[in-house]
Chain A
Amino acid sequence: MLMKTPVKSQKNKNDLILDELKRRKTRKKIVEVEEDTVKVVIFSLLGELYAFKGSDVKEILTLVPIHCVPGSPDFIPGVINIRGDIESVIKINKFLGLSDSEPSTKSRIAISETDGIRSGVLLDSIEDVMDIPASSVSPPLSTLSKEAKEYVSGQFLYGDKSVTILDVGKIFGRLEL
């Protein structure tokens, strides 16, 4: 005759399982709270992944008409009208040693601001916005182009792809020269 497992001991086992799950969750939470994280905005330019620090990105817009300002250099295609305010838009491809991108439905303009300078930056697409552990950021790859190295502050892995973190302040600083 089969003996049914006493209900009380089954409950205890289930309780033990639930307790263990709670412990694991608490342990994970403690680790998450204690570790520094960095918010990043991951984007693509000609198929390569780059990121800005989230604190430097104020807004992300779909591509809106860019109005040419005569006399401006080729890496400043013009200005845009955002709710009555005028912002410049810059193309950073040239600074990274890349050729120009073709606009598409995925193109975005990231309104970035740092050290009192504000501008839109033209991007091929936005891939993700996320928090990454500060410990996952490593020094820039030595294989980066000479042009890009000047603007790079680090790199990290996004899945199996390498993402290069760009310093918006250094890019804007270069434009101010």
Chain B
Amino acid sequence: MPRSAFVCGAQMDDLELLVFTVAGIIIGVDTEQVAGMLSTERAEEVGMEVSRFHEKIPLGGRSVHYRSPKALLIKDETPYAVIIELPDDILSVSLDSIRPLPLLLQTYTSCQAIWGVAVKEERIIVLVDFLRLHAARERGRESRPDSQ
């Protein structure tokens, strides 16, 4: 029986992740952050802010090719879409299997959107928080002199 945790006043045993792979890296995002999924063309048609995953989070020079791209709609004050590879799975991971980023990695602000790692059946799933990423970028825009 996994250990429970109280998060925002609610008991939570597991985290449900939408899992996809970009440039060989397995990424997981909390399904609670996901409003839905569209084709990339449809997302652009409806006038959503659309960007590719690797444009939001640098992948260290890895070459990226989306074979079956999908637009992941992120729940936010102003919803926006991130183009990802067609998701592999929706997985439930226990809190016991989640690890924070090692200290040296936490130091680097470009990792802000990465909040931890889940270990599931020998796989390492990098956990992304799109809301945190978007908030950081908005703060960056507000603090730039030319935005005033």
Task: Show the binding face of A for B, using Cβ within 8 Å.
Answer: 67-74, 76, 79, 81, 84-88, 90, 116-119, 172, 175-176
Complex Cα–Cα for A172 and B111 (A): 18
Give the most central of B105, B107, B108: most A CB within 10 Å: B105
Which residues of chain A are near B140, meaning CB under 8 Å?
A: none
Minimum CB–CB distance for B128 against chain A, Å:
8
Q: B103-114 vs A: 1/0 string, CB under 8 Å?
A: 111011011111
| Contact segment of B7-15, B35-43, B58-66, B86-94 | B58-66
Instruction: Using CB atoms and an 8 Å cutoff, list the residues of chain B in contact with chain A.
Output: 23-25, 27, 54, 57-62, 99, 101-105, 107-108, 110-114, 117, 119, 122, 124, 126, 128
**Closest Cβ of chain B: how far from A126's Cβ, in Å?**
22
Partner of A70, one of B57, B102, B122: B57
Known: A79-B102, A117-B103, A119-B102. A71 touches B119 (CB 8 A): no
A76 to B104, CA, bound (A): 9
Tell me whether A175 and B104 are in contact (CB under 8 A): yes
Please tell me which one of the listed residues A68, A71, A79, A88 contacts residue B113 in the complex, with CB atoms under 8 A apart: A71
CB–CB A118/B111 < 8 A: no
Is B25 a contact of A67 with CB atoms below 8 Å?
yes
Interface of A: prevailing SS: mixed
- B120 to A: closest C-beta gap in Å: 11
Contact A71 B114 (CB under 8 A): yes
Residues of A close to B101: CB separation below 8 A: 69, 79, 86
Chain A residues with CB under 8 Å of B112's CB are 71
Most buried by B among A67, A71, A118: A71
- The answer to whether A70 touches B60 (Cβ under 8 A) is yes
Tell me whether B119 and A72 are in contact (CB under 8 A): no
Check if A79 sits within 8 Å of B119, measured CB to CB.
Answer: no
Chain A minimum-CB-distance residue to B57: A70
A73→B107 CA distance, assembly (Å): 11
Contact B104–A70 (Cβ < 8 Å):
no
- Whether A79 lies near B103 (C-beta < 8 A) is no
15 contacts between A and B (CB under 8 A): A67-B25, A68-B23, A68-B59, A69-B111, A70-B27, A70-B58, A71-B113, A72-B110, A73-B110, A74-B60, A74-B61, A81-B122, A86-B102, A175-B104, A175-B107
